[in-house]
Amino acid sequence: MEGEKTMRKESRIVVAVDESEESMHALSWCLSNFTAKNDNSTNTTLVLLYVKPPPPVYSSFDAAGYLFSTDVIGAMEEYGKELVHSVMERAEAVYRNSVTDVNIEKKVGSGDAKDVICHTVEKLGADTLVMGSHGYGFFKRTLLGSVSDYCAKNVKCPVVIVKHPKQN
Amino acid sequence: MEGEKTMRKESRIVVAVDESEESMHALSWCLSNFTAKNDNSTNTTLVLLYVKPPPPVYSSFDAAGYLFSTDVIGAMEEYGKELVHSVMERAEAVYRNSVTDVNIEKKVGSGDAKDVICHTVEKLGADTLVMGSHGYGFFKRTLLGSVSDYCAKNVKCPVVIVKHPKQN
């Protein structure tokens, strides 16, 4: 059995997840189409990648001239952590319900989503990148669709762009 | 057995093929990743779609003022037919060598590649569209990458954009 295991082809699929339902649908699609049909000849690892926005550089005053208190900054950072936790929990619910035998790894990056996704895909030597088609993140911190556009152009491996069925 | 067959889920994957090696690589990727792991619960049909440029409206004179003879027009049309034949033959060589049990359908469209691809995907109710990332066709009749960009934005199903490994 050990011998068999070493013969298995390694496959690493990065799934970019965020707060959107679309990215959860992309994960679900990936589980159904890539891994459910796993015939034991491939050892598939799904890397769930969530990218937090970079730590903000707070100016002492906001646009209206109010000073941010450390309480507010602390609360925002706490909210960011909760967001990561919440996204990963939702992702877990998606893959727990699937019938696939697949390894799951979770990664949290920080920075510009499109750069972090491309960099991670390259660093891991991923075989496929799966992502939703729309803006990345609750705060719509990038223009609609621009992250998936950018990644499709810049990563070297095949990219799967999945749309939410509600948009159909 | 008949009963079993009717229970199988139908899955229809459109693969856009053209004269490029990249599109043959996309077909090969599709056979390895979608259909090789087929567990008999899904009846997969691969629709190979080739789009010819629309029949040209010949002006009587070309830019240099020469009249096109009917021989030249005939030769160009003949060349177009040979191109379809050659692309489909190359595609056949790719899927004949794969070990998959998959239904193959061939379709030849005519017109603007991006419109024909999107229209065909919608008309067939395809589950997935697979295509290369680059220009569609020998004559580079569209800007680099614009066909896959357009299709990724406009079709409703998941889109897989596959790059040729040589570009890596």
Establish whether this prediction's ipTM goes over 0.95.
no
- Residue A104 three-state SS: strand
Measured between CA atoms, the residue of chain A closest to residue B39 is A37
Nearest to B160 among A133, A148, A160 (CB): A160
Q: Does B152 touch chain A (CB under 8 A)?
A: yes
Q: Does B91 touch chain A (CB under 8 A)?
A: no
Q: Does B23 touch chain A (CB under 8 A)?
A: no
pLDDT of A58 above 90:
no
Check residue A138 and give its pLDDT: 46
Pick from A25-29, A109-113, B1-5, B90-94: least confident? B1-5
Cβ–Cβ gap A163/B158 under 8 Å: yes
Q: What is the mean pLDDT of residues A70-92?
A: 83
Residues from chain B contacting residue A38 (CB–CB below 8 Å): 37
Q: Does B145 touch chain A (CB under 8 A)?
A: yes
Asked if residues A58 and A68 have their Cβ atoms less than 8 Å apart, the reply is: yes
For the residues of A113-157, what is the DSSP string, one character each? HHHHHHHHHHHHT-SEEEEESS-STTTT-S-TTHHHHHHHHH-SS
pLDDT of A52 above 80:
yes
Check residue A74 and give its pLDDT: 78
Check residue B55 and give its pLDDT: 67
Instruction: Report the CATH architecture of B2-167.
Output: 3-Layer(aba) Sandwich (3.40)
The span from the CA of B133 to the CA of B113, in Å, is 13
Q: Does B36 touch chain A (CB under 8 A)?
A: yes
pLDDT of A104 above 70:
yes
Q: Are strands B128-132 and B9-17 parallel, antiparallel or unpaired?
A: parallel
Asked if residues A24 and A130 have their Cβ atoms less than 8 Å apart, the reply is: no
pLDDT of A114 above 70:
yes
The span from the CA of A96 to the CA of B75, in Å, is 60
Q: What is the mean pLDDT of residues A103-107?
A: 93
pLDDT band for position A158 (cuts 50, 70, 90): very high
Domain A2-58+66-166 has CATH 3.40.630.30: no
Measured between CA atoms, the residue of chain B closest to residue A30 is B158
Residue A13 CA, chain-centre distance (Å), reads 11
Cβ–Cβ gap A160/B159 under 8 Å: yes
Check residue B83 and give its pLDDT: 86
Residues from chain A contacting residue B145 (CB–CB below 8 Å): 153
Per-residue pLDDT 10s for chain B (168 aa) are 444 445 667 889 999 999 888 899 999 999 888 764 545 667 889 999 999 877 666 555 555 556 666 777 777 778 878 888 999 999 999 988 876 778 899 999 988 899 999 999 999 999 999 999 875 444 444 444 578 888 988 899 999 999 877 654
Q: Whose CA is closest to B128, among B40, B42, B14, B33?
A: B14
Closest-CA distance of chain B to residue A159, Å: 5
Q: What is the mean pLDDT of residues A129-147?
A: 64
pLDDT of A126 above 80:
yes
pLDDT band for position A89 (cuts 50, 70, 90): very high
The span from the CA of A8 to the CA of B22, in Å, is 27
Nearest to A33 among B34, B36, B149 (CB): B34
Chosen from B133, B163, B166 to mutate, greatest number of chain A CBs within 10 A: B163
Q: Which amino acid, A143?
A: L
Cβ–Cβ gap A163/B162 under 8 Å: no
